[in-house]
A = this chain, B = another copy of it.
Amino acid sequence: MDFKNLMDKQIQLIDRSLDQVLPKEKDYQDIIFESMRYSVFAGGKRLRPILMLAACEFVGGHEKDVLPFCCAIEMIHTYSLIHDDLPAMDNDDFRRGKPTNHKVYGEGIAVLAGDGLLNYAYEIMLKSLLQDAGDPKRKIQAMEEIARAAGIYGMIGGQVVDLASENKQIDGDALDYIHNHKTAALIVAAIRAGAIIGGADDQALNRLTEYGKCIGLGFQITDDLLDILGDEKKLGKKVGSDIENHKSTYPSIHGIDQSIAKVQELFHKSLAALQGYDNKSAFFVNLADYLVKREY
């Protein structure tokens, strides 16, 4: 199967799983079910769950063990976008070509939909732990990786510094902190959690972690570049918003040429991390290539 077909197949698998676990029944509080589903099914790339699934299979693990965790990490990612789009944060009206959650459901429900997705992610993972008759140790470890990467020492930490840096000149170190925590941490955790659930040995876990760090940072620098060089139609949102919001980005600090060179360097480092696993690294190699070349 070629890479594009394989990606589509994996996206469909993740979407079906998300559809199964996200509630949709009628009840007093059903507006939040609708609001959570609205953002989860607003056309995400499913990068984190796909990486988790691939890492699990890379080390010989089984799809069924990791799928609840794939859903959980996509819910955590989606909650962070809903809260990030709020007027008090980035104040974005559109994402992926659709009105943001608070534009459709109001700010109050958007706050609660984010809270609901974050909390439900843990409910899903805990249910998977309780249903599993085997030793829960690996799944607990995977949960802990995800939780730390999502929290105040990971993604939320990055968002705090990002928010505090608006309209301010920051240096390269502060920007590295933002990029590594706001974006890369959860991408790395997705890969590590998948590998841990799949039963990875230390060497495979370390190599996959290195790969994840490279593509995580590369992904965010590409995002920064697309906000300058991208096509609004393909992106589904306005370009130039970082400049408009006086936001420091990789290109604004290091220049466009050096940013492009950095993405290339990270791409090659990500491939080097998986050398020696040549017979099963094809998907990761193609994914890194796709992430570097993406236009949205």
Contact = CB atoms under 8 A, between A and B. Distances in A.
Contacts of A119: 118, 147, 150-152, 156
B144 A123 contact: yes
Interface in A73-126: 79, 83, 86, 88-89, 106-112, 114-116, 118-120, 122-123, 126
A111 B88 CA distance: 8
Contact of A123 (B27, B148, B158): B148
B32 A156 contact: yes
Instruction: Give the most central of A32, A141, A177: most B CB within 10 Å.
Output: A32
Contacts of A181: 29
A254 B63 CA distance: 53
B157 A32 contact: yes
Given A28-B177, A31-B160, A119-B118, A126 B111 contact: no
B116 A115 contact: no
Say whether chain A's binding surface is mostly helix, strand, loop, or mixed: helix
A111 B109 contact: no
A152 B111 contact: no
A140 B126 contact: yes
Interface in A147-168: 147-148, 150-152, 156-161, 163-164
Given A31-B160, A115-B115, 12 more contacts: A28-B157, A29-B156, A86-B111, A88-B107, A88-B110, A89-B108, A109-B160, A118-B119, A119-B152, A126-B144, A127-B144, A130-B140
Contact of A118 (B33, B89, B115): B115
A23 interface: yes
Contacts of A31: 160, 164
The 4 closest A-B pairs by CB, nearest first: A88-B107, A29-B157, A119-B151, A29-B160
A86 B32 CA distance: 18
A44 interface: no
